[in-house]
Amino acid sequence: MKEQPFGLDITASRANLRRRYEQQRQAMEQRRHVVQEAVRAAAQAITPRFPGILRLCPFSQG
């Protein structure tokens, strides 16, 4: 381990930041997937009651 001024190992710090970023990205993707499945299940339970619905865009803005 090569130490830099102030006792910081830049390479290890960068690797740590990359690892933490990847963990956060994976956690966010898992949460997104769980929400997507919950919305899909809810939509499948609700839309048969409304035969006029042709398309459902739950995450669209506008």
pLDDT per position as a tens digit, 27-51 = 999 999 999 999 989 988 988 899 8
Q: How far is CA 21 from the centre of its chain?
A: 12
Mean pLDDT over residues 3-10, rounded? 76
The predicted pLDDT at position 32 comes to: 93
Q: What angle (nearest 5°) sits at the alpha carbon of residue 42, between those of residues 40 and 46?
A: 115
Is a pLDDT exceeding 60 seen at residue 62? no
The pLDDT-based confidence of 56 (bands split at 50, 70, 90) is confident
Structure-model confidence comparison of residues 37 and 60, the more confident one: 37
Model's pTM, two decimal places? 0.65
Q: Please choose, from the candidates 58, 56, 12, 2, the residue with its C-alpha nearest in 3D space to the C-alpha of residue 32.
A: 58
